[in-house]
Structure formats: structure tokens, C-alpha cells
Amino acid sequence: MTILSDTNRIERNILIKASRERVWRALTTAGEFGTWFGINLTGQAFVPGQTVRGVMDPEKCGHENVWMDITVDRIEPQDLFSYRWHPFPVNTSIDYSAEQPTLVTFTLEDAPDNSILLTVVETGFDKLPAHRRQEAFLMHTEGWPMQLNNVSAYASR
């Protein structure tokens, strides 16, 4: 796993021993994404320009009644999937809709031994309110390696 970051951008990648089609399906089928990510997206679909919403699994996120909204930005089949969301939205007394969301982009590249190099980049932390910026950045800096391990384990089964 490679780790690159500054205060506005987090970049992580992982080599997944699975086909491009399998990794792509795990990323872009809302129900499958929800399974490995820890959010209930049952019955929903990722469509550019549309938002899906689900409650996060408290065992995975450590918080009760945390909802996550994902607005799909782009889907370039089997190459790129991106969405916007409000990072670390765990305080139920805050209306996060007034904040500028960050952009999450997943890219897939072929790798040796029939593997896929999956890279995730999240940008836009510098546009968050100052009182939330550092905590959201830190939590996502720590969280992306875990989520990449989750999708790798899920897609490799």
C-alpha cells in the first residue's frame, strides 16, 4: 500500500488479486459497496448526478445513527468511479448540507499476476469549515487504508 497526503488530499492504493470486472462491481454496485464499506445501500443504484443515502453500520463506524449521502460524480466503466460526500459526518446535531463536500475518486489499473491496482484519492478538505477540517482529514487518513483492505478482501473472495 502506498501512502501520499497533504492537508487537502489523501491518496491510497492497494493491489487486489481479483479481476477488473470483480473489483469494478464491488465499487459501483451500491449494495456491494455498502457491504464492504459498512453502509446500508440495499435497493439503491449509483447513477451519475444522483444521491444515495444509507445508515452506517455502528460496529464499523463506531457511531449510532450516522447517515451517509453519496452523490455520484462520474462513472467511466471499469476505469473510474467518483462521488462527493461530507466527510466524517458523525455529529447528528450538525447540518452538513451547508458544507462543501469532498470528492472521492477510485481508479483501476491492470497490474501483474492478474491483479488490479486500486487507487482512491479524496480531495477538498481545505474547503471544510476550519473547526472540522483537521478531524475529518485525520479520520479519513486513517480510514481509507481500512476501507481498501475491506474492498480487497470482499473482491478477492
Domain boundary assignment for the chain: 2-156
pTM for the whole structure: 0.93
Report d(CA 153, CA 31) in Å as an integer: 16
Report d(CA 12, CA 6) in Å as an integer: 12
Buried b (16+ CB within 10 A) or exposed e, 16-51: bebebebbbebbbebebbbbbbbbbbeebebeeeee
> Could you report the per-residue pLDDT of 77-98, keeping only the tens digit for each?
999 999 999 999 988 888 899 9
CATH homologous superfamily for the domain 2-156: START domain (3.30.530.20)
> Could you report the per-residue pLDDT of 25-64, keeping only the tens digit for each?
999 999 999 999 999 999 999 999 999 999 999 888 777 8
- pLDDT (average), residues 129-146: 94
